[in-house]
């Protein structure tokens, strides 16, 4: 029977503590990963940033961007800002429509950001809706407190029952905001569907949608998905309220 040993190849006189396994790596081997981890890098920033303006300060361009995810305004110049971002190139200084700002992130990645009027408009609209939702929720909370915790919305019970029934409707197949890659795209898909559907309604139907929506907000200010609730109301009106 043959036996194999890790020291079988040693010749006489060689020490038996010779390393036959690889030396384990030290922490220094991973220093680059510690400093620039691929798991903490923000991905697709160019998809969420839009150029909104540019000015000159001491003869050098200073660009402003908007983050379409949260609406934050960000100033960028040749000097790194608090995020570690800086502008490395700017073209089209005299025409914002064709301007391009090349932004270097702290990770070293460089992306080119452009002006987009429609994306800016869409972001402002989406943030306005969020602000209105917060105001409606605060108003409903104040009404509930003033009424001792009881229902203070003033909506008739038969209408409350109707709204609950509408909430059980299936969403239409053509409505799929979940296909958006981010909040901005999801909002665009939602708004595009709503605009198209409302565009085919009569003034009477539009008025009915508005009335039902106001009552829905009063009854359920903390609804989980406001967009889906609005679409369900809109579809209900399209089916049951004549033009």
What pLDDT, in 10s, does the model give residues 198-243? Answer: 999 999 999 999 999 989 988 888 888 899 999 999 999 999 999 8
Q: How far apart are CA 161 and CA 186, in angstroms?
A: 30
Q: Where are the domains of the chain?
A: 45-115, 129-240
Kind and range of the H or E run holding 233: helix 226-240
Return the closest-CA partner of residue 164 out of 60, 236, 227, 68.
236
Confidence of residue 33 (pLDDT cuts 50, 70, 90): very low
The CATH topology of domain 45-115 is SH3 type barrels. (2.30.30)
Could you tell me the two tokens for 115? 């002006």
| pLDDT at residue 234 in the model | 95
Could you tell me the two tokens for 207? 């008025």
Could you tell me the two tokens for 100? 């391009």
Residues shown for the chain:
243
Q: What is the mean pLDDT of residues 134-150?
A: 68
Q: What is the mean pLDDT of residues 29-40?
A: 43
Q: How far apart are CA 171 and CA 179, in angstroms?
A: 14
Q: CA dist 25 to 20, 35, 73, 153, 233, Å?
A: 15, 17, 44, 67, 62
| pLDDT at residue 188 in the model | 86
């Amino acid at each position: 029977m043959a036996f194999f040993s890790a020291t079988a190849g040693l010749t006489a006189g060689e020490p038996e503590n010779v390393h036959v396994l690889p030396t384990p790596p030290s922490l220094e081997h991973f220093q680059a990963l510690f400093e620039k981890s691929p798991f903490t890098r923000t991905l697709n920033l160019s998809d969420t940033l839009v150029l909104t303006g540019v000015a000159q300060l001491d003869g050098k361009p200073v660009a402003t961007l908007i983050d379409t995810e949260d609406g934050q305004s960000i100033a960028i110049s040749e000097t790194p800002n608090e995020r570690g971002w800086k502008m490395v190139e700017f073209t089209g200084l005299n025409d914002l429509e064709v301007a391009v700002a090349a932004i270097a992130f702290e990770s070293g990645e460089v992306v080119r950001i452009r002006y987009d009027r429609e994306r800016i408009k869409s972001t402002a609209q989406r943030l306005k809706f969020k602000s209105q939702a917060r105001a409606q929720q605060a108003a409903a909370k104040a009404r509930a407190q003033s009424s001792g915790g009881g229902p203070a919305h003033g909506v008739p019970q038969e209408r409350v029952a109707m709204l609950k029934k509408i909430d059980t409707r299936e969403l239409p197949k053509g409505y799929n905001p979940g296909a958006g890659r981010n909040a901005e795209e999801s909002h665009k898909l939602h708004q595009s569907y709503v605009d198209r559907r409302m565009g085919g309604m009569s003034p009477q139907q539009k008025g009915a949608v508005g009335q039902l929506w106001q009552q829905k907000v009063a009854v359920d200010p903390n609804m989980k998905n406001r967009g889906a609730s609005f679409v369900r109301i809109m579809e209900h009106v399209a089916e049951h309220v004549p033009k």
